């Protein structure tokens, strides 16, 4: 089973940049999208269906904001929209797919870039999500949690750790949350296979040279519970796929 997580920064904009043509190359069986900024009605879903994908959407109440979706060539056992926390669900941040005994949770973690209020909400959301996945893991031990976490975990995950030590996304409290999350029984699948530096999944759009010079952050993850560790085959990041300011991250699991 091949899984991709991808913050498309607007599915309609990504489609204009060749997203569907890329999907036609068969890069994955399941693709989890974040920041769709659209509803199902806004997209030509027949083109997706022609490529063999079922599609499931959970959009924000606010038009053109946030939103998650899962496109799958494997028929799900069940789909669940939302995690039961009011503001998170209002903003369309979590959608889940059950595939037999494996559950995939696709999440768009909040960013704190717009100020203290949103940074406070980010911490609240992290606490809520930890509670949610802990409870889920007790019922369903084979979990995959993927998405845009909006956190660069370690110095290796960001091009300028010293210069960004006081920047949201690399704050000590955020990094500490990530550490305790992984220590609670989760595997960062990319780092399981790759220990090398300069591997990133997001680049600021403020200056075109940032991506050209690979001055990025690794903030997109596919994590799995330790019960799935023996099924890991490969994980990677695809920086040459350019429909967004993020790029896809990849995981392959064996049956």
* pLDDT tens digits, 125-178: 999 999 999 999 999 999 999 999 999 999 999 999 999 999 999 999 999 999
Q: DSSP state, 42?
A: G
Q: How confident is the model at residue 17 (pLDDT cuts 50, 70, 90)?
A: very high
The pLDDT of residue 50 is: 98
Domains and CATH numbers, the chain: 2-253 (3.60.10.10)
**Residues 208, 168, 180, CA angle at the centre, nearest 5°?**
125
Mean pLDDT of all residues in 78-85: 98
Q: How far is 167 from 175, CA to CA, in rounded Å?
A: 12
The pLDDT of residue 201 is: 98
Nearest CA to 71 among 143, 19, 142? 19
3-state secondary structure of 88: helix
Nearest CA to 95 among 84, 110, 105? 105
* pLDDT tens digits, 191-214: 999 999 999 999 999 888 999 999
The pLDDT of residue 206 is: 87
The pLDDT of residue 16 is: 98
The pLDDT of residue 255 is: 83
108 as an active site residue: the answer is yes
Nearest CA to 127 among 85, 157, 165, 94? 85
The pLDDT of residue 208 is: 81
Q: How far is 200 from 196, CA to CA, in rounded Å?
A: 11
Catalytic residue among 6, 29, 132, 148: 148
pTM beyond 0.85, yes or no: yes
221 as an active site residue: the answer is no
138 contacts 131 by C-beta, under 8 angstroms: no
Percent with pLDDT over 90 in the chain: 96
What residues contact 187, with CB distance under 8 A and at least 6 apart?
Answer: 223, 224, 225, 226, 228, 229, 232
Catalytic residue among 6, 108, 221, 250: 108
32 contacts 53 by C-beta, under 8 angstroms: no
Q: Which two tokens stand for residue 96?
A: 């889940």
Alpha-carbon dihedral of residues 193, 5, 214, 206, nearest 10 degrees? -160
Nearest CA to 112 among 61, 64, 154, 166? 166
Q: How far is 122 from 125, CA to CA, in rounded Å?
A: 5
Q: Which two tokens stand for residue 43?
A: 């997209």
């Amino acid at each position: 089973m091949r899984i991709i997580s991808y913050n498309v920064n607007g599915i309609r904009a990504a489609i204009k940049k060749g997203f569907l043509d890329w999907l036609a190359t068969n890069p994955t069986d399941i693709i989890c999208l974040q920041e769709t900024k659209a509803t199902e009605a806004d997209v030509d879903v027949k083109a997706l269906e022609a490529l063999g994908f079922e599609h499931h959407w959970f959009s924000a109440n606010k038009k053109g904001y946030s939103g998650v979706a899962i496109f799958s060539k494997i028929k799900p056992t069940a789909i669940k929209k939302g995690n039961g926390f009011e503001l998170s669900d209002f903003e369309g941040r979590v959608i889940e797919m059950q595939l037999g005994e494996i559950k995939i949770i696709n999440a768009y973690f909040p960013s704190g870039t717009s100020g203290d209020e949103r940074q406070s909400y980010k911490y609240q959301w992290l606490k809520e999500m930890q509670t949610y996945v802990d409870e889920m893991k007790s019922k369903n031990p084979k979990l995959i949690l993927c998405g845009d976490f909006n956190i660069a975990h370690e110095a290796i995950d960001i091009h300028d750790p010293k210069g960004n030590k006081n920047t949201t996304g690399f704050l000590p409290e955020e990094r500490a949350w990530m550490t305790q999350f992984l220590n609670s029984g989760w595997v960062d699948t990319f780092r399981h296979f790759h220990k090398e530096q300069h591997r990133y999944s997001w680049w600021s759009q403020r200056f075109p040279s940032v991506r050209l010079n690979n001055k990025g952050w690794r903030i997109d993850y596919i994590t799995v519970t330790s019960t799935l560790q023996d099924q890991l085959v490969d994980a990677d990041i695809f920086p040459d796929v350019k429909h967004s300011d993020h790029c896809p991250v990849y995981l392959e699991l064996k049956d």
